[in-house]
Amino acid sequence: MSSSYFDLDDLPGPSNRRSTNREVYVSALDSGYGASVYSEEEPERPTLVSRNTMPLPSVPGTMLSGGSEENTQRLLQFQVQQLHYNENRAALARAITTVMNILKELQSTNREWPAQYPAFSPGNGAVEKLTPPTSTSDRPSHLRRVATDLPFPSSNQDKSTLVSPSPSSEVPRLMSSQLSHEFNVLKLDLKLGAVSPVELVQSLEKSAIASLLDGKISQALKHLLSLRERIEDTASKVLVTGDLNAGKSTFCNALLRRNVLPEDQQPCTNVFCEVLDAQINNGVEEVHAIPHGSTYNRHDERTYDVFPLSQLERLALSPEIYMLLKVYVDDKRPPEQSLLRNGVVDIALIDAPGLNMDSMQTTAVFARQEEIDVVVFVVSAENHFTLSAKEFIWNAAHEKAFIFIVVNRFDNIRDKNRCSRLILEQVSKLSPRTYDDSDDLVHFVSSNKVRIPEPDDNDDGDDNGDNGNGGPNNDDDAVDFERLERCLRNFVLEKRAISKLAPAKTYLLNVLGDLEALASYNEELSQNEVQRLKDELARIAPAYEATLQNSVKISEDVDASIEKLVASVYEHTRYKLEHVIAEIGAKTYVEYPGIFSVYSYAADTRDAMLHSIQQSVVECEEFARKRTTSGYNVLKNLGLRHFQGTAYYTEKIFNNGLMFSRRKDLLARGSVSAPIEFTDYIDLEQKEKVSGLGMSMTIATVAGTGVLGLPSAVVGGVVNASSIIGLRNLRKWVVPALGLVLLCGAVYVISDIPNVVPRKLAKKLKRELESVDYIHANSDRIASECRKVLKYPSEDLRSAFQQMLDEQATQKNERAKQMSHAEESLRYFSRLHKDSRSNFNMISKFDLEGVLAGSHVEV
């Protein structure tokens, strides 16, 4: 495993194994079993063999003696198991890669489309169908003894008095009832006062949940990478952990049969101590102290400080300086008794600080357990499992279904049966698989009762009943510890498929179970979302089409109504003005004041005529106001009918008095002045002139008769006489007669002024108004004002329809886009659900201890 704590170059091999007894390594398929046989021959490089050949057995050297058929069968069985181990290891490595790819895809998808996190609460019926299958085929199998297992002395505990397995204990932790409502690896651990995690998850935004889930996925990817490296590593790492003062260091010393690690009644191990075989370090016993921030390399002394073993106690109390102590110890016991020098694989025994020492140390222990293969949890028989112990075991159970539990200081308990029953009851809840194999995995011992020989003891002596190997004394405590040792060796060495591969399988099943639950939940949500969006689109699309058609129709009707109203106003104004202007000279506007006020008479007459025309224009404007007000009310009612109660349309106040306040009439602007001229008093047109002269003669005759006082007969006689008198005599009378005629004409002109002035001014005004196209200009002005005024409510109505159309179109497009995303999400989570289920079923079928189906061995 790649880690700042370990050196991959320190694996067993001919280059770094130096001992007085030379070893021959014959390895089968790089299984990690690395069988060793002590011999005087030179070491040979490992030999790889194919599946169809039979390598030398990878079992302790004591089993190679003899050539009986029974030994041959055992050797064949070991070889098949080694082949099966490599098959499972390769399959698990491929499965890890597959699951990592699935997680990476989920992480990428989660960043684009945040996944919903199911906040299940107890009793939620939806949980059951999201729970991974609980059939027996999906559960990790029980530990099975191999053919080389030696008969162990039975424990002195009465198992008949212990708690019997409950139905839920037959199901792995992944499928247990406690976990049917929560996740394992991808669980979001949220805590905020008294708020429950369910309520807290439900109160978070999607982006916050997606961010938390992204972090969990990153942690899972990192751990899977470590798992893949760990199963490829031929060495095994055993972590000895537990609560403070549980006797971890005493237990490690008992396993080593040496007082290597510091012991005391108070905590004395504050730094991780990794005990390794001194042969890896060229047979030199010493301590390599690795400072914080340094990456250990045994071949580079700059990465660590070297101390003798006598300084270990002082170093173990310096966590502020060193993060890890690599303790190289020379175990001279034979391979069948030594755990470190076992003749099979390299073992690293890691003594961890107490869990409840402080938060930083506890966190470090929690993180460190993810890097090791086997957890040996030491619990005090006096205190049982504390909260920190339970939390650690729950956390470790994410990948380790089997945990080796050592109940230490059992000799201090008076009621041992009750203690055993209570401990096993807690184990059944914390780790069901460990409870199922409690005979092999749960041990009640007293580590301080193990006899550890003094340094000057004779290794060949046999006076203490321990065969000179520092073994336990021959009593119940010694027998129990000896049985613990053999079970631990069996679990770490001979059952490497369980201790080495089972954690990877368990973690993969946990991850895939979480993925399946997450995918199933999001698949159902996506299906509901797709259906909801389809329903909304089915509602929005027709409404949008109806609004569009209604908008077009109403817009056309409004335009037509406005144009009709404007046309009626235009025609009314034109008709009114034409009639007024046509009749402008047909009536008397001002009373004639006499010859001496003739100019003022003409000016007053002109102004009266212009006022009459302007008054008619005002009447036309008033008519236009009324019609415009009526049209505005129609548009307003139309808007209120369609948009009342919405923000699309706002009723505005219309003040028709402001109409025509800017665009004035031409007369009002002074564009038509009609100045008074002399010719306005005399009508010189031919027809009227002749009739005027005749009238003048008549007037002159009448006037002459009247003036001279002569009778008509006399005047007639004079005329008759003139014809008799002759032309010469008549000339004498021409001048007086002409004067008389002119006088009569002047009298006529003066007397006709009251008639001529209105007539002449009316004609002048008509010509001038016609020259400026007065009727059309005013009609168009008034009609344009109406169109302008009605334009605002019509535009408001169109704007309201357009806003509604835009909003409906936006909703339609958003729903279509959301449905596209939801359908894509549905396809992804359906595929994720299917892939998680298929991979879960495939990995569940891995029989780590069984024989490959259809496999055979040729000798």
- Residue 589 sits at φ, ψ, to 5 deg, of -100, -35
HSE, CB side, 13 Å, CA atoms: give it for residue 180: 16
Residue 173 has a pLDDT of 31
pLDDT in tens, 670-694: 566 667 776 666 766 644 444 555 5
Of residues 136, 141, 144, 142, the one with CA closest to residue 167:
136
Residue 594 in this model has a pLDDT that exceeds 70: yes
Mean pLDDT check: name the lowest of 308-317, 475-484, 723-732, 789-798: 723-732
Angstrom distance (rounded) from CA 787 to CA 803: 23
Instruction: Please count the residues of the chain.
Output: 859
Of residues 350, 354, 417, 349, the one with CA closest to residue 380:
354
pLDDT in tens, 92-136: 999 999 999 999 999 998 888 888 887 654 444 333 333 333 333
Angstrom distance (rounded) from CA 375 to CA 239: 5
Q: Is residue 433 part of a domain?
A: no
Residue 424 in this model has a pLDDT that exceeds 90: yes
Residue 744 in this model has a pLDDT that exceeds 50: yes
Angstrom distance (rounded) from CA 786 to CA 793: 12
C-alpha to C-alpha distances, 344 to 1, 466, 470, 713, 851, nearest whole angstrom: 18, 24, 22, 179, 21
Q: What angle, 0 to 180 degrees and rounded to 10, lies between the N-to-C axes of helices 206-232 and 502-582?
A: 150
For 373, other C-beta atoms within 10 Å of its C-beta total 25
Mean pLDDT check: name the lowest of 577-586, 631-640, 810-819: 577-586
pLDDT in tens, 596-619: 777 887 888 888 888 888 889 989
Residue 651 has a pLDDT of 81
C-alpha to C-alpha distances, 672 to 587, 664, 762, 764, nearest whole angstrom: 21, 13, 13, 11
| Sign, CA torsion 273/275/276/278 | positive
Q: What is the DSSP string of 112-150?
A: HSPPPPP---TT-THHHHHSPP--GGGSPPPP---TTPP
Average per-residue pLDDT in the chain?
74
Residue 53 confidence class, pLDDT cut points 50, 70, 90:
very low
Token representation of residue 579: 């009639």
Token representation of residue 287: 């301590």
Q: Is residue 109 part of a domain?
A: no
Sequence-ordered list of residues with C-beta below 8 angstroms from that of 826, at least 6 positions apart, any chain: 523, 526, 527, 529, 530
Mean pLDDT check: name the lowest of 152-166, 217-231, 320-334, 631-645: 152-166
Residue 138 in this model has a pLDDT that exceeds 90: no
Q: Is residue 706 part of a domain?
A: yes
Q: Is residue 710 part of a domain?
A: yes
Of residues 606, 605, 583, 609, the one with CA closest to residue 592:
605
What amino acid is encoded at 469 in this protein? N
Residue 131 has a pLDDT of 38
- Residue 346 sits at φ, ψ, to 5 deg, of -75, 135
Quick one: average pLDDT of 398-417? 87
Residue 267 confidence class, pLDDT cut points 50, 70, 90:
low
Residue 754 in this model has a pLDDT that exceeds 90: no
Mean pLDDT check: name the lowest of 371-385, 713-727, 790-804: 713-727
Higher pLDDT, 835 or 661: 835
pLDDT in tens, 523-536: 999 999 999 999 99
Quick one: average pLDDT of 754-767? 80
Residue 724 has a pLDDT of 58
Residue 38 confidence class, pLDDT cut points 50, 70, 90:
very low
Burial of 111 from C-beta contacts in 10 A (0-12 / 13-18 / 19+): middle
For 652, other C-beta atoms within 10 Å of its C-beta total 11
Q: What's the domain range around 744?
A: 673-748
Angstrom distance (rounded) from CA 274 to CA 325: 6
Residue percentage of the chain with pLDDT more than 70: 68
Quick one: average pLDDT of 821-841? 93
Token representation of residue 591: 């009373």
Of residues 427, 378, 359, the one with CA closest to residue 253:
378
Output the CA torsion 770→776→779→783 (10° steps).
-160
Residue 512 confidence class, pLDDT cut points 50, 70, 90:
very high
The total number of structural domains that make up the chain: 1
Residue 831 has a pLDDT of 94
Of residues 46, 32, 175, the one with CA closest to residue 93:
32
Higher pLDDT, 238 or 345: 238
Q: Is residue 112 part of a domain?
A: no
Higher pLDDT, 354 or 238: 238
Q: What is the 3-state secondary structure of 765-821?
A: HHHHHHHCCHHHHHHHHHHHHHHHHHHHHHHHHHHHHHHHHHHHHHHHHHHHHHHHH
Quick one: average pLDDT of 5-21? 35
For 535, other C-beta atoms within 10 Å of its C-beta total 11
Q: Is residue 743 part of a domain?
A: yes
Q: Is residue 65 part of a domain?
A: no
Higher pLDDT, 663 or 757: 757
Residue 613 has a pLDDT of 86
Higher pLDDT, 697 or 180: 697
Higher pLDDT, 104 or 148: 104
Residue 11 in this model has a pLDDT that exceeds 50: no
The span from the first CA to the last CA of the chain, in angstroms, equals 35
Higher pLDDT, 696 or 626: 626
Q: In the beta sheet, which residues pair with residue 287?
A: 307, 327
Sequence-ordered list of residues with C-beta below 8 angstroms from that of 450, at least 6 positions apart, any chain: 254, 257, 472, 477, 478, 481
pLDDT in tens, 327-379: 999 988 888 888 888 877 888 888 888 887 655 556 566 566 667 888 899 99
Quick one: average pLDDT of 568-590? 86
Of residues 521, 523, 443, the one with CA closest to residue 483:
443
Quick one: average pLDDT of 1-9? 34
Quick one: average pLDDT of 220-226? 90
Residue 394 has a pLDDT of 82
What DSSP character marks residue 317?
Answer: T
Q: Is residue 704 part of a domain?
A: yes
Residue 7 in this model has a pLDDT that exceeds 50: no
Residue 830 confidence class, pLDDT cut points 50, 70, 90:
very high
